Amino acid sequence: MAVVLRTLYPEGMRRSSALLLALAGVIFLELDARAHAVLKKSSLPKRVVPETAQPVVLSFNSAVEPTLSRVVLVDAKGTEREIALHAGAARNEIALDLPALPPGAFGLRYKVLAADGHVTENLLRFSVAAGD
């Protein structure tokens, strides 16, 4: 790299380019060290008991910011309902209370802000149905 810079740029430019490259390296390492939030575990069952509130904890691989994250409940018709979030027991967790729901197909769409400032979005599908 140094050889290339020496060939292409005069002294002054070479020095500032080297500085820029060094800064870019520092920033890159910084972002790399704090990965964005990937869902590791969810306590949401695939089948939820009808008409029964269900506490749910979403666990991520890194710290998340509940106040800047969102979870929306979507039903089969596409109707959306915002679900209140609270901090989980650990910094990588988000907790919520799923309201009592009628039988049917649903999804929880989450959008979480990780400590590195990146937003992750995904949909968790589940159904509400009586057990056998």
- Report the interface residues with Cu ion, using CB under 5 A: 36, 116, 118
Residue 8 in tokens: 């292409």
Residue 110 in tokens: 């989450």
Least distance CB 118 / Cu ion (angstroms): 3
Residue 96 in tokens: 């919520």
Pick between residue 18 and residue 35 the one whose CB is nearest to Cu ion. Answer: 35
Pick between residue 33 and residue 130 the one whose CB is nearest to Cu ion. Answer: 33
Q: For residue 101, which of 57, 44, 54 has the smallest C-alpha distance?
A: 54
Residue 105 in tokens: 């197909």
Least distance CB 94 / Cu ion (angstroms): 16
Pick between residue 63 and residue 83 the one whose CB is nearest to Cu ion. Answer: 63
Least distance CB 73 / Cu ion (angstroms): 26
Pairing state between β 85-87 and 80-83: unpaired
Q: What are phi and psi of 22, to 5 degrees?
A: -65, -45
Least distance CB 93 / Cu ion (angstroms): 18
Alpha helices in 35-125 (DSSP H): none
Pick between residue 25 and residue 104 the one whose CB is nearest to Cu ion. Answer: 25
